[in-house]
Homo-oligomer: A and B are copies of this chain.
Amino acid sequence: MMAKAWVLASRPNGMPTAENFRLEELPNRELADGEVRVTNRWLSVDPYMRGRMNDVKSYAPPFQLDQPMQGGAVGEVVESRSDQFKPGDMVQHMEGWRDEAVMKAEAVRPLPQLDVPPQAFLGQLGMPGMTAYVGLTRIAEVKEGDTVFVSAAAGAVGSTVVQIAKAMGCHVIGSAGGPDKCAWVQSLGADAVIDYKGDVPVVKALGEVARNGIDVYFDNVGGEHLDAALAHCRQGARFAICGMIDVYNTAEPTKLRYLPRIIATRARIQGFLVSDHVDCAAEFYRDMGGWLSDGKLKAQETVVDGLGRMPEAFLGLFQGGNTGKMLVRV
């Protein structure tokens, strides 16, 4: 059976649809010296991939039309012409959106030695988890006693933000959509949860649970959540801007009613990319390993089975389809 990969068939205009993707057979090819063949077991879908579907230069190059897309993947080495890997090794790499990948060994990393299932390295112990860690510790410079507000708190990044912030001694307010997700976020330890799909506008709901304001806002969504955070931020507040999923698929501008508060509060709003912070990986695995051992981290996954359903899993990210990390099991 030939290996298959999802290619970008056309660039989405606004919200992507299934028609933007096409599953293609990959040509069989022999390994060259120094290469490995990996059978992918788990594939990651992440909101940032939406940006790579546009034909604009950004931090990551755009996906090429009619070419296999990239993304996080965990798999098993099945053939190796590198002395770094042998068949049976579990590895992670960026040649996702396909069931088999042939790569130079340098593009492949062994899984860290932590007692978690392999797919955790696509979620809480992978890029999304490290995004949460970097955003809180390096960008927002969170400290014990801070009140931390995080949007998309039931997502892969947000749910880890909730747990790291709690482990660090913060008061945590999460926002999520719908009672089930809110209950899950509460079960992670959040002190208060806002249902942004409820009747109460986010700005009002946040004011009710953050009577003394917030010190840190971890933004995954932008839009009205960002405005609510501005409305309720305290003096010296720090905003770590990780994502703006609310605006990835729209041409509408963000409307901020409370932006002038940035002056009186001396608030700092900073965008960041986890890829700038690979130097903190050791620190990240050390701290996360400790919190895991202490039972302070819970992971949840929303698993979609089969490479054929990968676009569906990706589109689900924009429809609130996942609780915790959205994964495709090959």
Q: Which residues of B contact A247 (CB under 8 A)?
A: 259-260
How near does chain B come to A93, taking the closest CB pair, in angstroms?
23
Query: A58 at the A/B interface (Cβ < 8 Å)?
Result: yes
Q: Which residues of B contact A242 (CB under 8 A)?
A: 263
Report how far A263 CA is from B60 CA in the complex, Å. Answer: 12
Report how far A261 CA is from B51 CA in the complex, Å. Answer: 11
How near does chain B come to A243, taking the closest CB pair, in angstroms?
7
Categorize the interface residue count of chain A.
20 to 34
Given A247-B259, A263-B272, A268-B269; 16 other pairs, CB 8 A cutoff: A243-B263, A244-B260, A244-B263, A251-B257, A253-B257, A253-B259, A254-B256, A254-B259, A262-B270, A262-B271, A264-B273, A265-B271, A266-B270, A267-B270, A268-B270, A269-B269
Q: Which of A227, A265, A271: most chain B Cβ within 10 A? A: A271
Partner of A264 from B59, B248, B257, B268 at Cβ < 8 Å? B59
Query: A276 at the A/B interface (Cβ < 8 Å)?
Result: yes
Q: Which residues of B contact A271 (CB under 8 A)?
A: 261-268
Query: A140 at the A/B interface (Cβ < 8 Å)?
Result: no
8 residue pairs of the A-B complex, CB under 8 angstroms, read A59-B264, A244-B259, A247-B259, A251-B257, A254-B256, A256-B256, A263-B271, A268-B269
Query: A241 at the A/B interface (Cβ < 8 Å)?
Result: yes
Identical chains bound together, number:
2
- Segment 235-255 of A: residues with Cβ below 8 Å from B: 241-244, 247-248, 251, 253-255
Report how far A310 CA is from B253 CA in the complex, Å. Answer: 39
Report how far A269 CA is from B227 CA in the complex, Å. Answer: 15
Q: Which residues of B contact A96 (CB under 8 A)?
A: none
A248 with B262, Cβ < 8 A, contacts A253-B255, A255-B255, A267-B270 known: no
B266 touches A273 (CB 8 A): yes
Query: A222 at the A/B interface (Cβ < 8 Å)?
Result: yes
Partner of A248 from B244, B253, B260, B276 at Cβ < 8 Å? B260
How near does chain B come to A48, taking the closest CB pair, in angstroms?
9
- Segment 259-315 of A: residues with Cβ below 8 Å from B: 259-273, 276
Q: Which residues of B contact A265 (CB under 8 A)?
A: 271
By beta carbon, the residue of chain B nearest A272 is B266
A262 touches B269 (CB 8 A): yes
Q: Which residues of B contact A273 (CB under 8 A)?
A: 263-264, 266
Q: Which of A244, A255, A268: most chain B Cβ within 10 A? A: A268
Q: Which residues of B contact A241 (CB under 8 A)?
A: 262-263
Report how far A269 CA is from B273 CA in the complex, Å. Answer: 16
A268 touches B268 (CB 8 A): yes
Q: Which residues of B contact A269 (CB under 8 A)?
A: 262, 268-270
Q: Which residues of B contact A267 (CB under 8 A)?
A: 270-271
B59 touches A260 (CB 8 A): no
By beta carbon, the residue of chain B nearest A244 is B260
Q: Mark A210-231 against chain B: 1 for CB-CB distance below 8 A, else 0.
A: 0000000000001000010000
A58 touches B264 (CB 8 A): yes
How near does chain B come to A204, taking the closest CB pair, in angstroms?
16
Partner of A276 from B260, B262, B266 at Cβ < 8 Å? B266
